[in-house]
Structure 1
Amino acid sequence: MTLPGYGGGDGSMAALRYWLKRWGYQAEPWLLGRNLPADRISQMEHMHEFQSLMLDRIQQRVDTLYENSGNRPVSLVGWSLGGIYANAMAQREPEKIRRVISLGTPYGDPRGTAAWAFLKRLHRSTTPDHEQNTDQWISLNAGPREVPTSVIYSPVDGIVSPSIARLEGENIENIPVKSSHLGFAWNPSVLATVASILARPN
């Protein structure tokens, strides 16, 4: 199942699913509309609430795919914020998730992304950066994991720096590629890397 980035919908990852299907994979959209909150996000607490809501909805979609496949675990491919969801879902339901693949995901302090200032202006946030509580965001991605996790990141991402796009620990691998942040779901080298990871036996 593909999980789009902030503001994106299933169409943003259609090319990735197209090629995965051509290569023999059952590539499923998340069917949850745009990855966008209904209200303004002026503080990190609002983002945490939005993430919690989305994770509950993703849980229902994962449950459906898991049951329809005869209780076969689901692989999750998440782009940017979608990778945060995928990682959290794997820690919540490890028996239902086969593998996590993230693309340009800001696992570290989101204030280290070029998108931070843009989103602050977009949502008209007046909360100073030093008063933003990012602990929950970071802790959501920390800790041991049972599910194999492949972190695909780019040194030339342009939005998410490599310093916050990598994870460390058991069952984690970090794979560098050359791609812009907006090009992850179309970049041929990224598509080939995702396909090769999915082909691995568990």
Structure 2
Amino acid sequence: MSDARPPSLALLLRELPWLPLIAASRFRRADKVDLAGDLGDQSPPVVVFPGLLSHDSSTSLLRRTFSASGFAAYPSGLGFVTGVTPERLEKGYRRLEEVCDIHGEPAIILGWSLGGIYARVLAQRHPELAKMVVTLGTPFSGNRRANNAWRIYNALNDHTVDAPRLADDFSAKPPVHTVAVYSRTDGVVPPECAWGMEHERDAAHCLDVSHMAFGSGRRAAQAVTRIVSSELVKVQPPTSAVST
């Protein structure tokens, strides 16, 4: 990953038209997705973490797509995200614990971009609360400056991407099923840093979307929901298998 480079300016500029759609996420139609396998009513809850300079409202379309497809999807409760801090991690832990208590089972922890760092660290620290981890365009592997967001991150925080306030190794695979979703047309995070090495995740899926579309594009939301359901059947037996 040391030779990974930030995406080109052309790819970065392609992200701009998505910004109004992110802002309107809560008002846009979410469609039901036919899930892989036969999960029946066994779909675990999903807690979704937003990215840098985002709020839970930015993941509304994605969460409502999960909900329409049979999952109970929850916002992170982090507030407006400007970085990775112990205080926000504690908020994320409390929300995750609350959701798991409500449903009586571990949750799928899903993070978009920087939100994927929260997802991975929470699963590293609290694997008993995680059914599965899914990251969308998250720079968890390799050079932390090989992206188009690190300068913004450094300007917003009292620490840098090279010296975060959390001592956790973001690239270390959590002890649960871990899925990395990446894009070769991502204008913010290069695919190499988002798919990681084989020992850093269990599965990797490529989507032909922009970075901003991961959480706010209708087609991407449907594809992510399908990926989650297809990976879920690997760690959770289908309804028919349980009933026999």
Q: What is the TM-score when the length of structure 1 is the normalising length?
A: 0.80
Unaligned runs of 5+ in 1: 37-46
On the 8 A contact 1:8/1:34 being kept in 2, the answer is yes
Please tell me the residue identity of whatever aligns with 2:179: S
- Picking from 68, 85, 107, the partner of 1:51 is 85
Cα offsets for 1:87-126 (capped at 9, x unmatched): 1111111111001111110113221111223444x4499x
Whether 1:103 and 2:136 are equivalent positions in the alignment is yes
After superposition, the Cα gap between the structure-2 partners of 1:61 and 1:119, relative to the gap in structure 1 and judged at 3 Å, is: closer
Kindly provide the CA deviation profile for residues 55-104 of structure 1, in whole angstroms up to 9, marking residues without a partner as x: 1111111111111112x001111001100000111111111100111111
Residue of structure 2 in register with 1:13 after alignment: 59
C-alpha displacement of 1:142? 3.0
- Residue in structure 2 matched with residue 27 of structure 1 by the alignment: 73
Which residue number in structure 1 is paired with residue 23 of structure 2? none
Distance between the aligned counterparts of 1:144 and 1:114, measured in 2?
Answer: 24
The change in CA–CA distance for 1:197 and 1:88 in structure 2 (over 3 A counts) is: same
Question: Which secondary structure does the structure 1 equivalent of 2:62 belong to?
Answer: helix
Paired residue for 2:192? 163
Distance 1:170 1:160 in 2: 17
Query: Higher RCO, 1 or 2 (CA under 8 Å, sep at least 6)?
Result: 2
SS at match of 2:199: coil
Question: Residue 60 and residue 105 in structure 1: after superposition, are their counterparts in 2 closer, same or farther (change >3 A)?
Answer: same
Contact 1:153–1:165, Cα closer than 8 Å, also in 2: yes
Identity %: 29
2:107 to 57, 74, 78: 74
Distance 2:227 2:71 in 1: 12
Contact persistence 1:51–1:85 (CA under 8 A): no
Candidates 177, 183, 188, aligned match of 2:213: 183
**Deviations 1:101-160 (CA, angstroms, capped at 9, x unpaired):** 11110113221111223444x4499x9x9xx73588796223343211110111110110
- Contact 2:112–2:214 (CA under 8 A) maintained in structure 1: yes
1:133 alignment counterpart: 162
Shift of 1:190: 2.8
C-alpha change, 1:15 and 1:74, in structure 2 (3 Å) is: same
Q: Distance in 2 between matches of 1:22 and 1:135?
A: 37
Report the alpha carbon displacement of residue 189 of structure 1 after superposing the two structures with TM: 4.3
In the alignment, which residue of structure 2 is the partner of 1:4? 50
Q: 1:25 to 1:81 in 2, by over 3 A?
A: same
Structure 1 residues 138 and 112, CA, compared in 2 at 3 Å: closer, same or farther?
farther
The root-mean-square deviation of aligned C-alpha atoms, in Å, is: 2.6
